[in-house]
């Protein structure tokens, strides 16, 4: 098939696609050498057709595509769609809505943790996808017939996967479960890359308030530089370097040069001077305005044993109800349940609480017991004292 290479062709295709209940979406992009993903190809499919769009074509205006993404009457179906949605957010400042993520739905239906697209297609449809072009350079033109066919297959098979998952969700009464999970995918907070919050990715590297203050300023500087120059963060400064700067807080370029992780001569660059200014700004911050440093608390012997029991309960619940354990609760969730009275975590809210959370609290309180029966773990309600 030929690719769409003009805005008029794109507008006509999007108008046709807008007449359907749902469409499937995928993108091909590059990000190895840039901060922002470089969109190269867009694939869209309805029950009637599939189109492949050359996002790099001369004169291409993607406005019709963004209008389609904003159409609330059309369900947008992705597989592991976070990066695809991030691209749309960055380019147009919009988030597609409503959305359906087949990877999330697959986990809710017990197909395992973070199942890949090709595995899900094979399991649900029997088709074996050719993934030999997975790491192709999608920015080079012209694209081959094989590349275009590969791109198209990603959205045509997604139609069948979606319909099977949707039917299974309706049959098992779990459509609302997926709907709750889509709230994260459709929240702007998921995609905002605010320099002032860049430190949150590195918070574990700060041990003292002064370290945290410096970490916040240097991380924000790196984020601004990476975005402005459109290059990966690590090309500006690696995480380990920021960690050492935060712990040593050098106030002069001479002190910066003495850090083991700093390349020779770096301190004499414009970046070196800016880092020193960031360090000074951090040291001048009022400690009372800093976020609280969350420290890992060692679990007591009793809590550690409780976590192990909760893991067994989680596995049992996952197998019993056909839901991926990762969707029900994380290890951190289990540790919080074991250590805190009733922590504010996802495992204790909504359908997760109904399926697992209540039983987890009952196990911790001694109102539930685990036992073996015919080689299987079962849960038994314990009578009150």
| 3-state SS record for 40-58 | EEEEEECCCCEEEEECCCC
Cβ atoms within 10 Å, residue 30: 13
- In a domain, residue 294? The reply is no
- In a domain, residue 166? The reply is yes
DSSP 154: H
Angle between helices 209-229 and 239-248 (to 10 degrees): 140
- In a domain, residue 2? The reply is no
- The dihedrals phi and psi of 30, each to the nearest 5 degrees, come to -120, 145
Q: Do 376 and 340 reside in the same domain of the chain?
A: yes
pLDDT of res. 133: 84
Q: With the C-alpha atoms ordered 325, 326, 327, 331, is the resulting torsion angle positive or negative?
A: positive
- In a domain, residue 1? The reply is no
Q: What is the CATH number of the domain that holds 312?
A: 1.10.150
Q: Do 35 and 145 reside in the same domain of the chain?
A: yes
For 374, half-sphere exposure in the C-beta direction (CA atoms, 13 angstrom radius) is: 0
**Of 190, 225, 240, at which residue does a domain stop?**
190
How many structural domains are present in the chain? 3
Range of the domain at 143: 7-190
pLDDT of res. 203: 75
Task: Compute the distance between CA of residue 148 and CA of residue 250 in angstroms, rounded to an integer.
Answer: 52
From first to last of its 385 residues, what are the pLDDT tens digits of the chain? Answer: 679 999 999 999 999 999 999 999 999 999 999 999 999 999 999 999 999 999 999 999 999 999 999 999 999 999 999 999 999 999 999 999 999 999 999 999 999 888 999 999 999 999 999 888 888 999 999 999 999 999 999 999 999 999 999 999 999 999 999 988 899 899 999 999 999 999 998 877 788 999 999 999 999 999 999 999 999 999 999 999 999 999 999 999 999 999 999 988 888 899 999 999 999 999 999 988 998 876 656 777 778 999 999 999 999 999 999 999 999 999 999 999 999 988 999 999 999 999 999 999 999 999 999 999 888 988 888 766 4
- The answer to whether 62 and 114 are in contact (CB under 8 A) is no
- The dihedrals phi and psi of 347, each to the nearest 5 degrees, come to -65, -15
- In a domain, residue 296? The reply is no
Which residue, among 295, 130, 150, 149, has the nearest Cα to 209 in the 3D structure?
295
Beta strands 99-101 and 75-78 are parallel
**Of 190, 223, 248, at which residue does a domain stop?**
190
Q: Do 201 and 139 reside in the same domain of the chain?
A: no
């Amino acid at each position: 098939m030929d690719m769409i290479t003009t805005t008029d062709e794109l507008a006509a295709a999007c108008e046709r696609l807008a007449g359907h209940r749902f469409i499937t979406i995928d993108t091909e992009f590059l990000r190895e050498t840039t901060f922002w993903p470089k969109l190269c190809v867009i694939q869209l499919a309805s029950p009637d057709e599939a189109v492949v769009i050359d996002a790099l074509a001369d004169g291409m205006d993607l406005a019709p595509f963004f209008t389609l993404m904003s159409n609330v009457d059309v369900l947008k179906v992705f597989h592991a769609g976070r990066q695809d949605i991030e691209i749309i957010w960055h380019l147009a400042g919009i988030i597609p809505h409503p959305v359906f993520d087949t990877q999330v739905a697959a986990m809710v239906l017990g197909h395992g943790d973070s199942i890949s697209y090709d595995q899900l297609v094979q399991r649900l449809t029997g088709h074996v996808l050719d993934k030999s072009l997975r790491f192709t350079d999608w920015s080079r033109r012209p694209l081959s017939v094989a590349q275009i066919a590969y791109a198209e297959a990603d959205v045509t098979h997604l139609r069948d996967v979606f319909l099977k998952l949707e039917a299974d969700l309706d049959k098992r009464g779990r459509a609302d479960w997926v709907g709750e999970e889509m709230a994260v995918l459709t929240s702007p907070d998921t995609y905002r890359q605010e320099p002032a919050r860049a430190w949150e990715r590195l918070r574990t590297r700060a041990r003292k308030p002064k370290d945290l203050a410096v970490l916040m300023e240097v991380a924000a500087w790196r984020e601004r530089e990476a975005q402005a120059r459109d290059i990966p963060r690590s090309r500006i400064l690696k995480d380990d370097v920021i960690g050492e700067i935060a712990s040593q807080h050098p106030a002069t370029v001479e002190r910066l040069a003495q850090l083991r992780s700093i390349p020779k001569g770096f301190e004499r660059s414009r970046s070196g001077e800016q880092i020193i200014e960031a360090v000074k700004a951090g040291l001048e911050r009022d400690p009372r305005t800093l976020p609280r440093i969350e420290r890992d608390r060692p679990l007591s012997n009793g809590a550690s044993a409780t976590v192990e029991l909760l893991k067994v309960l989680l596995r049992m619940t996952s197998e019993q109800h056909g839901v991926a354990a990762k969707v029900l609760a994380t290890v951190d969730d289990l540790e919080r349940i074991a250590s805190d009275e009733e922590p504010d975590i996802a495992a204790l809210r909504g359908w997760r609480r109904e399926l697992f959370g209540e039983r987890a609290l009952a196990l911790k309180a001694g109102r539930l017991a685990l036992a073996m029966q015919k080689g299987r773990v079962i849960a038994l309600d314990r009578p009150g004292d």
